[in-house]
Structure 1
C-alpha cells in the first residue's frame, strides 16, 4: 500500500475465470486500486513516455520479443488475429517504432502507456466509478454488449463467441482481452477512483512484472502525491 488510504477506499478484487488457465497457463497480473488526488506534476506522464521511447530504441527490455510472441499465440488460441488486432502492448510499441512517439492523451494515460511500452506488457487503466460490480476476465458467449464509437457516434457491438473479454455487471469493458477498451469505463485525468491492470505471461520474468507495477505506482504518487495506492497480485485461484 502506498499513500494514506482510509476505510472508504475501494479495493478492486477482479475475478479470473478458470477457463482462462486453459488458454494462458501461468497468467498472472498486478491489480492497482487508486484513490486519486489532484495532479500537481502533470509532466510525470510525458517524462515517462520519453524514457519508454528510449527503451524501445535501445532494445533494453530483453524479454519483450518473447512476451509479445506469447501474447500473439494466446490471441490465436481464442480466435483473434494478432496481425490485425494485436495485444495493447504490441500495438503501442509498433506505433513508437514507426512514428517515434505517441500523441499525448492525458498525464495518467501517458504514464500507464509508458509503462506498457517500456516493459512490453499490456496495461489497462479504468475509471472504477463507472463500474457495476467487480471486473471479471472471462470467455464471451457473443451476447454481451460492448460500448464503442462508430462514425463519431456512440454505438454497441458484441464480442465474438469464445473471445476473451473483461466485463462488469453492465457489459464488456475491454474486447479481445486487452485490445480495445470501451467508452464507458475510459479513464480521464480527473477521475477519483482508478483501477490499473498489468497483465503478464510466463515469458515475462515475475520480478519484471513487480518492477513494472512499482514504477507505475511511483509515477502516480509523484504525479499526485496525495493518492492512496493498493497493489495486489492476481491469477487463477488467487482471487
Structure 2
C-alpha cells in the first residue's frame, strides 16, 4: 500500500522537468486533489454537463474539422515535437471531442463530470486515484525503461514508453503516456476512489484565466460528491 501523504505535500513536490519546457515553453499544468469523496454519492449535475458537452462538441465540429480546433491543433504540434504521430495516438481532448459529438460514455459521477468539463472547456484533463500514487507526480522525457501498467487483448501487460516520450510518472512507473494520451491501470479511478488527483494540461492559445475557469468548473460539481470535500490545487508553469 503506498504511503499516504497530505494533498498539500504531494502537490508541492510535483514537478515538470526542464526538458519538457524546452519542447513547449507555453505549457502549464493545473493540479487538483479532491479529497473526501463519497463513492456512493451521485452528482445531480453530471447528466446536464454531459448533455451540454455533447452539444458543444457538435457545434464546434459544425464549424471546423476537429484537428483544426485551436487547442487540439496545439496538442498535435506538441506530440510531433517528441516524435509521436497525432493521427495515430490522439491526445485525450481530441479523442473526447470526437466521441462527444456522437455521445459521451456514462461511467460514474466522478468520470462523467471531468470528461464533460474537458470537452466544454477544451482542456485535456486526467483523473486518477490519489491514494494509489507512490510519491509525487512528475512530467518527464522518458528513458524508455519505465514500466507502464496497461491492458492488451484483455490481459494485463507491462509496456514501456519510447525514449524521449513525454510521460507523467511517480516513483513506481509511468502513470500516463504521451503527455495526455493513455492513463495506466495502477492509478486509475475506481468506484472506491475517495481522493482524486486531476491534471489539467494547457498550451497556448489557452490563457491562465481560461485554465483557472476550467479548474473552477471542475471543482464546483465535484464539491457535491461528499459531505466533507476538500480541494487543493497548484499551478505548475515554466520558471
Aligned to 1:199, what secondary structure does the other structure show? strand
Alignment of 1:149-160 (within 5 A): 149-160=151-162
Which residue of the partner structure matches residue 46 of structure 2?
45
Which residue of the partner structure matches residue 137 of structure 2?
135
Which residue of the partner structure matches residue 100 of structure 2?
96
* 1:185-231 Cα shifts (integer Å, max 9, x gaps): 00124311211010101211221111100000001012334211012
| Structure 2 residue corresponding to 1:109, chosen from 108, 111, 125 | 111
Aligned to 2:198, what secondary structure does the other structure show? strand
Q: Is the 8 A contact 1:44 1:223 kept in 2?
A: no
Instruction: Count residues with an aligned counterpart.
Output: 227
Which residue of the partner structure matches residue 4 of structure 1?
none
Aligned to 1:94, what secondary structure does the other structure show? helix
Aligned to 1:222, what secondary structure does the other structure show? coil
| Structure 2 residue corresponding to 1:203, chosen from 205, 225, 228 | 205
Alpha-carbon spacing, 1:226–1:44, altered in 2? closer, same or farther (3 Å) = farther
Q: How far apart are residue 47 of structure 1 and its match?
A: 2.2
Q: How far apart are residue 155 of structure 1 and its match?
A: 0.6
Q: Is the 8 A contact 1:44 1:222 kept in 2?
A: no
* 1:99-150 Cα shifts (integer Å, max 9, x gaps): x212211110111111111111110011111111000000001111100011
In 2, the alpha carbon distance for the partners of 1:213 and 1:29 equals 11
Q: Is the 8 A contact 1:147 1:182 kept in 2?
A: yes
Note the aligned Cα RMSD (angstroms): 2.0
- Mind listing any 5+ residue stretches in structure 1 that lack a counterpart? 1-7
In 1, the alpha carbon distance for the partners of 2:53 and 2:146 equals 35
* 1:42-66 Cα shifts (integer Å, max 9, x gaps): 343222111111222233999x811
Which residue of the partner structure matches residue 79 of structure 1?
83
Q: Is the 8 A contact 2:54 2:104 kept in 1?
A: no
Aligned to 1:223, what secondary structure does the other structure show? coil
Q: Is the 8 A contact 2:148 2:159 kept in 1?
A: yes
Which residue of the partner structure matches residue 124 of structure 1?
126
Alignment of 1:154-173 (within 5 A): 154-173=156-175
TM-score (norm. length: structure 1): 0.89
Aligned to 2:127, what secondary structure does the other structure show? strand
In 2, the alpha carbon distance for the partners of 1:73 and 1:37 equals 36
* 1:4-49 Cα shifts (integer Å, max 9, x gaps): xxxx842332210001111111111211111123253334322211
In 2, the alpha carbon distance for the partners of 1:88 and 1:213 equals 17
Which residue of the partner structure matches residue 32 of structure 1?
32
